[in-house]
Amino acid sequence: MPLFADKSKNTFSGNNLNSQISSIVDKKNALLMSVGNEINNLNLAISNLYKEIGGEVYRTHLEGAIKTDGLTGYFDNIAELNKSITAKEAQSEEITKRYDEEIKLLQNLAQPPQTHTAPVSVVGTGTAFCTKCGTAYVPGEIAFCTGCGNKFVSS
């Protein structure tokens, strides 16, 4: 299933978008928590190996000679676990990046359209002109220019 579904078939309303954004944030957080738990478990496994290594070194010490031959398997396990942690951290970064991108796209869709305001020029009695496009109108009757759509601001 693709991360970014085809949104062109959906009707977007403010509440619907906010709900989708909230849902995506929840999914992102759940995935990050899952990956974080996996990283914690890998770190715990490394800690347990450190304890086992310590025990092995101590037993070797009691025998009178410290040998590392019996520790090679531990070292290999730690190296593999560290590779897994690095991969999980990269996965976590990718999840954050991808979900933040989708959230940003939806937030942009949820934003109300920007309106440009044009000051009003009044000439004579009862007539005004939009200073952006020059369309004439009667002040107080309309709030937006019929020629260009700009919002009138009374001065």
| pLDDT the model gives residue 72 | 79
Pairwise CA distance, residues 4 & 102, whole Å: 7
| pLDDT the model gives residue 75 | 83
Closest C-alpha among 99, 126, 80, 79 to residue 31: 99
| pLDDT the model gives residue 1 | 41
| pLDDT the model gives residue 27 | 93
Q: For residue 69, give every residue at least 6 positions away whose Cβ sits within 8 Å of its Cβ, in sequence order, or none.
A: none
Q: Phi and psi dihedrals of 35, rounded to 5?
A: -65, -40
| pLDDT the model gives residue 40 | 95
How does DSSP classify residue 12?
Answer: P
| pLDDT the model gives residue 8 | 47
DSSP string, 108-143: HHHSPPP--EEEEEE-SSS-EEETTT--EE-BTTBS
| pLDDT the model gives residue 58 | 76
Task: Give 152: exposed, middle or buried? Use CB within 10 Å, 0-12, 13-18, 19+.
Answer: buried
**Please, what are the averages of pLDDT over each run of 10 residues along the chain (155 residues)?**
48 72 91 94 94 83 71 86 94 93 84 55 63 78 81 70
User: What token pair was written down for 20?
Assistant: 């989708």
